[in-house]
Amino acid sequence: MTVQNIVVDGLRKRFGSKQALDGMSFTVDAGRVTGFIGPNGAGKSTTMRVVLGLDRPDGGTALVGGHPYRTLPRPLTELGSLLDASALQPSRTARNHLLWLAHSQGLGVRRVDEVIELTGLGSAARRRAGGFSLGMRQRLGIAAALLGDPRTLMLDEPFNGMDPEGIIWMRGFLRELAQQGRAVLVSSHLMSELQDTADHVVVAGRGRVLADTTVAQLRATISDGRVSVRTDDPNAAAALIAAGAAVVATEPGTLSVTGLPAPAIVAALNARQVVFSEVTAHRATLEEAYLELTRDAVEYRAGEVAR
Partner 1 sequence: MTVALRAEWTKLRTSPGTAWLLLAIVALTIGVGAAAAATITCGAAGCPEDPAKISLTGVQLGQALVVILAVSSISGEHATGMLRVSLSAVPNRLRLLTAKALVVTGAIGAAGLVAVAGSFAAGRLLLPGSGFTEAHGFERLSLSEAAVLRATAGSVLYLVLIALVALGLSTVVRETAASIGLLLALLYLIPLLTQAVSSPSWKRHLQQITPTAGLSIQATTKLSSLPLTPWQGVGVLGCWAVGSLVLAAVVLHRRDV
Q: How far is the CB of 119 from partner 1 (least distance, A)?
A: 16
As a whole number of angstroms, the distance between CA 19 and CA 7 comes to 21
Q: Counting contacts by CB under 8 A, is residue 144 touching partner 1?
A: yes
Q: How far is the CB of 3 from partner 1 (least distance, A)?
A: 19
Strands of the 152-156 sheet, one edge to the other: 79-82, 152-156, 183-188, 33-37, 200-205, 208-214
Q: Counting contacts by CB under 8 A, is residue 91 touching partner 1?
A: yes
Q: How far is the CB of 258 from partner 1 (least distance, A)?
A: 50
- Measured at the CA of 146, the angle between CA 144 and CA 148, to 5 degrees, comes to 95
Crossing angle of helices 164-179 and 134-146, rounded to 10°: 10
Q: How far is the CB of 97 from partner 1 (least distance, A)?
A: 8
Residue 255 near residue 231, CB atoms below 8 Å: yes
Q: Counting contacts by CB under 8 A, is residue 134 touching partner 1?
A: no
Q: How far is the CB of 65 from partner 1 (least distance, A)?
A: 14
Q: Counting contacts by CB under 8 A, is residue 156 touching partner 1?
A: no
Of 270, 240, 236, 269, whose CA–CA distance to 252 is shortest?
A: 236
Q: Counting contacts by CB under 8 A, is residue 99 touching partner 1?
A: yes
Q: Counting contacts by CB under 8 A, is residue 70 touching partner 1?
A: yes
Residue from 101, 136, 194, 215 that binds partner 1 (CB under 8 A)? 101
Residue from 30, 83, 167, 291 that binds partner 1 (CB under 8 A)? 83
Beta carbon nearer to partner 1, 82 or 289: 82
Residue from 19, 25, 27, 105 that binds partner 1 (CB under 8 A)? 105
| Alpha-carbon distances, residue 286 vs 88, 176, 215, 228, 256 (angstroms) | 35, 22, 8, 19, 21
Residue from 4, 25, 27, 96 that binds partner 1 (CB under 8 A)? 96
Q: 150: Cβ–Cβ under 8 A, 6 or more apart, which residues? A: 76, 77, 78, 79, 80, 182
Question: Contacts with partner 1: how many residues (CB under 8 A)?
Answer: 33
Within 13 Å and on the Cβ side, how many CA atoms surround 267? 8
Q: Which SS3 state, helix, strand or coil, does residue 114 take? A: helix
Q: How far is the CB of 91 from partner 1 (least distance, A)?
A: 5
Q: How far is the CB of 72 from partner 1 (least distance, A)?
A: 7
Task: Choose the stretch contacting partner 1; rule: CB under 8 A; options: 99-107, 213-221, 285-293, 294-302.
Answer: 99-107
Binders of partner 1 among residues 239 to 258 (CB under 8 A) are none
Q: Counting contacts by CB under 8 A, is residue 76 touching partner 1?
A: yes
Residue 136 near residue 153, CB atoms below 8 Å: no
Residue from 21, 62, 88, 268 that binds partner 1 (CB under 8 A)? 88
Strand residue runs (E) in the chain = 6-15, 18-28, 33-37, 59-64, 79-82, 152-156, 183-188, 200-205, 208-214, 227-230, 246-251, 254-258, 278-281
| Contact residues: partner 1, CB under 8 A | 49, 52-56, 69-72, 74-76, 81, 83-84, 86-93, 96, 99-101, 103-106, 144
